[in-house]
Amino acid sequence: MTTVSTSPARTARRTPLAVTISSWAVPVMVLGQFALLASVPVTIALVGALRHARDRTVRWAAALLAVTYAIPLIVWLTRPDGAPSLSKDIHPAFVALIVAASAALIVAILRALR
C-alpha cells in the first residue's frame, strides 16, 4: 500500500505561481529602467489573476496594476514628441504608483494564501 501525501503549500495555493513571480518582477523591471518590457509580467499577472485566482482582492489588485501601467504606456505611445523609451518618458509619480500597485498585488496574494 502506497500513501501519497501532498504538502499543505501545494494544496493551499489559490493563485498561480506565474502571477506571484510576475507581481515581483514588475517593480524590479520598472525601477531597473526596463519599463516597456514590464508589459510582459503585467499581462501575465492580469490574465493569470483573472482566469485562475479565486480571491476577488487578487483580481482587483491585478487589474489596478494593469491600469496604472497602461496609463503611462498609452501616453507614451500617443505623444508625438515622446522620449525614445518608456523608461525615460514615464513620470516618477507613475513609477511610484506602479510599484505601490504591485505591492498591493503581492500583499493580496500573500493574504490569499492564509
3-state secondary structure 12-63: HCCCCHHHHHHHHHHHHHHHCCCCCCCHHHHHHHHHHHHHHCCCHHHHHHHH
pLDDT of residue 54: 86
71-96 pLDDT per residue, tens = 999 999 999 887 899 999 999 999 99
pLDDT of residue 33: 94
11-46 pLDDT per residue, tens = 555 788 999 999 999 999 999 999 999 999 999 999
User: Which are the contacts of 111, defined by CB distance < 8 A and separation ≥ 6?
Assistant: 55, 57
40-54 pLDDT per residue, tens = 999 999 999 999 988
With 80 as the cut, is the pLDDT of residue 8 above it?
Answer: no
How is the chain split into domains, by residue range? 15-113
End-to-end CA distance of the chain: 33
